[in-house]
Chains A and B, each alone.
Chain A
Amino acid sequence: MMSYETGYGGPAETSAIEARGVGRKYRRGWALRDCSFRLPAGRICGLVGPNGAGKTTLMAIAANLLAPTTGTLRVFGAAPESAEATRRTAFLAQEKPLFRRFTVAETLRMGRELNPGWDQRAAEDIVRAGNVPLDAKIGTLSGGQRTRVAFAVSFGKRPDLLLLDEPMSDLDPLVRHELMGTLLAEAAERGTTVLMSTHMLAELENTCDYLLVIAGGRLRMAGEVDELRTSHAVLTGVHSDGRTPPELAYHTVVETRTSGRQFTSLIRPDGPVAGGPWEASTPNLEELLLAYLRSPEAPPLISPSSYVAPQAVAA
C-alpha cells in the first residue's frame, strides 16, 4: 500500500517500460512502427486499439517473446532478454496456456518449481478467493475459474510488470468485475505495474489510470487518463449547411460529426473554448478513444509523462 503511494507523481519516477523507435516487421509488413513512449512504474495501463493494431506484438516484445526489428525497448532499464527483466516480468497470453490435465494444486506447484521468487501464499489466496478447489483438474474449470488460476500463477511470480493480453475477453460481466477487483487489489498491494490490452472501452474508465492507444501499428495517444481527458473538449452546436463555426479552426480538431443540424467536435483546445457558439464539456474516456480510433489522420498525442526522444539508444 505505502509503496504504492510513493510510486505516483512527478516525472522523476522510474519507467517500467521505455520504448524508443520500436518497430516489428513480419513477412506481410510492419505490425508496429516507430513506437516511442515510457510507462511510469506503478500504473495500471490500458493498451487499446483495433484488432491487428500491434498490441500483442508490443507486449510480446516487452515479454521477450519477440525481438524488435528496429529500436530498443527496456523493462525497468534492462533489456527484455536479460535475467533481471525476465525475473521481473510476467506475461499472460490471451489463450491463458495451462495444462488441462493438471490439477490447480499441480499448476501452482509448477509455478513454484519454475520461479525462484515464488509466493505460494499469494497464489493460493487468489485461487481460494474464487472458491476454486485445489484438487480440480484445469480442464473441468469454467472460463472465469481458469482465468483466476492464470492470475494466481502470474501474481505468484511476484512480477513488477504484469503484461495481460485481453485477460477478460471471454468472461461474463459479473466474473469480469470480480476478477478485475482481484487484479487491482493485488496490484495495489504490491505496487505492480500492469499493462493490459483490451477491447472493452467502457471498462477502462475506472480501472486504468494510464493509456496507450495504437492503431495501424503506430502509437496514437499515450499518457495519464485524467490528463488526456482534460486536454480535450467536446463541443456541440448547430452547423449551417454542414459548415461548422469558423472559431473551430483555432483549435486542433480530432473529429467532427454531424447529425441533423447538430455538430459534435472533439478537439484539443489551443486557447479558451468557453464563449464560442457551442456547448463545451470534457469527454469521457470512451468518447475520447472512439474519436481517435475513428480518425487515423488526427495528430498523435504523447503526453509529457510518457514522452521519450525517439532515437534508439545503443543496445
Chain B
Amino acid sequence: MVVKGLEFRIDRRSGVAAYQQIVQQTKQALRLGVLGPGDQLPTAKSVAQTSAVNPNTTLKAYRELEREGLVEARPGLGTFVRQSLARPQAPVDSLLRGELESWMDRAREAGLEQDDVTALVTSVMEERYAGTGPAADHAGPTGPVEPAGPQHQQ
C-alpha cells in the first residue's frame, strides 16, 4: 500500500543534509509504525512534486535506507519497506514513558527550562549509550546496526 500520509518536512536552514533528513524521517515513521513492511515509500517524483525536493536527494536517501536493509527497490515499481523499526514491547514503552513523564514534571517544578532538560537528557544518554549506535537498540538481533558516532547537528 502506498502511504499517502508520509510527507517529508525538510528544514532548509539546518546544517543537516536534506537526504539525511529524509533518512531520519523515514526511520522515525518506521519506529512509530506509520510505515510497516510492504508499504511503498513515496516516489522521488511525488516527493519532488509535493515538497519541491530534488529527486536525486530522495533517491540518495532511499539508497542509504536500502543499504541498511530497511527498504528495497523493486525496479519499475518503487521502493518498499522490508523491515519495521517499531518495537514490540509496547507495555514497557508506556511504563518507561510514564516514568519519564513524572520525571519531566519534577524537572519542571524544579524550574528547569526546556533547553536545560534537553541538555540534561542528551548528556545522560551520551554517557549511558556510549559505544552503541544511535539506533542499535531499535533493530532486532539480526537487524542492521547504524554506524556509531555522534551526528553532527548544528
| Chain A residues with a Cβ under 8 A of chain B | 1-2, 4-5, 8, 42-44, 177, 180-182, 184-185, 187-189, 202, 205-209, 226, 229, 281-284
With both chains docked as a complex, state the minimum distance between the C-beta of B148 and any C-beta of chain A, in angstroms.
16
B14 cross-chain contacts in A, Cβ below 8 A: 284
B152 at interface, CB cutoff 8 A:
yes
B residues near A181, Cβ cutoff 8 Å: 48-52
Given contacts A180-B52, A206-B53, whether A5 and B59 have CB atoms under 8 Å apart is yes
Are B15 and A284 in contact, CB atoms less than 8 angstroms apart? Answer: yes
Does B44 lie at the interface of the complex (its beta carbon under 8 Å from any beta carbon of A)? Answer: yes
Q: Are B49 and A8 in contact (CB under 8 A)?
A: no
Contact A281 B55 (CB under 8 A): no
In whole angstroms, how far apart are the Cα atoms of A229 and B16 in the complex?
10
Query: Are A189 and B45 interface neighbours, CB within 8 A?
Result: yes
- Total contacts A-B at CB 8 Å: 76
Contacts of A44 in B (CB 8 A): 54-56
B88 at the interface (CB under 8 A from A): no
**Do A207 and B54 have beta carbons less than 8 Å apart?**
yes
Is there a chain A Cβ closer than 8 Å to B12's Cβ? yes
Is the CB of B102 closer than 8 A to any CB of chain A?
Answer: no
Residues on B close to A: CB < 8 A? 10, 12-15, 17-19, 43-46, 48-57, 59-60, 73, 75-76, 152, 154
Chain A residue contacts of B154, Cβ below 8 A: 281
Least CB distance from A44 to B in Å reads 5
- B54–A208 touching, CB < 8 Å: yes
Closest chain A CB from B120 CB (angstroms):
20
Q: Which of A1, A8, A189, A282 has the most CB of B within 10 A?
A: A1
Please tell me which one of the listed residues B19, B43, B52 contacts residue A1 in the complex, with CB atoms under 8 A apart: B43
Question: Inside 8 A of B48's CB, which chain A residues have their CB?
Answer: 181, 184-185, 187-188
Cα–Cα distance between A173 and B48 once the two chains are bound (Å): 16
Tell whether, in the assembled complex, residue A1 and residue B45 are in contact, meaning their CB atoms are under 8 Å apart: yes
Instruction: Tell me whether A206 and B18 are in contact in the complex, defined as CB-CB below 8 angstroms, given that A181-B50, A187-B55 are known contacts.
Output: yes
Q: Considering the chains assembled together, what is the distance between the CA atoms of A8 and B18 in angstroms? A: 17
Task: Give the shortest distance, in Å, between A206 (CB) and chain B (any CB).
Answer: 5
| Closest A residue by C-beta to B58 | A188
Specify the chain A residue showing the minimal Cβ separation from B13.
Answer: A284
Q: Does the CB pair A283–B46 fall under 8 Å? A: no
Query: Which residues of A lie under 8 Å from residue B15 when comparing CB positions?
Result: 281-284
A residues in contact with B54, CB < 8 Å: 44, 184, 206-209
Alpha-carbon separation in the docked complex, A5 to B73 (Å): 11
Q: Which residue of A2, A177, A205, A282 contacts B75 across the interface (Cβ within 8 Å)?
A: A2
A56 to B54, CA, bound (A): 23
Distance in Å from the Cβ of A291 to the closest Cβ of chain B? 14
Asked if B55 contacts A184 (CB within 8 A), the reply is yes
Taking the closest CB of chain A, its distance from the CB of B115, in whole angstroms, is: 17
Apart from A8-B56, A177-B52, list 17 A-B contacts with CB within 8 A: A1-B44, A2-B76, A4-B59, A5-B59, A8-B59, A8-B60, A180-B52, A181-B48, A184-B49, A184-B53, A185-B46, A188-B48, A206-B53, A207-B53, A209-B54, A226-B17, A226-B19
B52 and A184 within 8 A (CB): yes
Q: Once bound together, how far apart are the Cα atoms of A170 and B56, in whole Å?
A: 27
Q: Are A4 and B44 in contact (CB under 8 A)?
A: yes
A108 to B44, CA, bound (A): 28
Cα A182 to Cα B49 with chains together (Å): 6
Residue of B nearest to A184 (CB): B48
B8 → chain A, closest Cβ, in Å?
10
Q: Within the assembled complex, what's the spacing in Å between the Cα atoms of A282 and B17?
A: 10
Do B75 and A188 touch (CB < 8 A)?
A: no
Q: Which residues of B contact A8 (CB under 8 A)?
A: 56, 59-60
A219 to chain B, nearest CB (A): 22
Q: How far is the CB of A9 from chain B (nearest CB, A)?
A: 10
Query: B61 to nearest A CB, angstroms?
Result: 12
Q: Which residues of A contact B55 (CB under 8 A)?
A: 4, 44, 184-185, 187-188
28 contacts between A and B (CB under 8 A): A1-B43, A1-B45, A2-B76, A4-B59, A8-B59, A42-B56, A44-B54, A181-B48, A181-B49, A181-B50, A181-B51, A182-B49, A184-B49, A184-B53, A184-B55, A185-B48, A188-B45, A188-B55, A189-B45, A206-B10, A206-B18, A206-B53, A208-B54, A209-B56, A226-B17, A281-B15, A281-B154, A282-B15
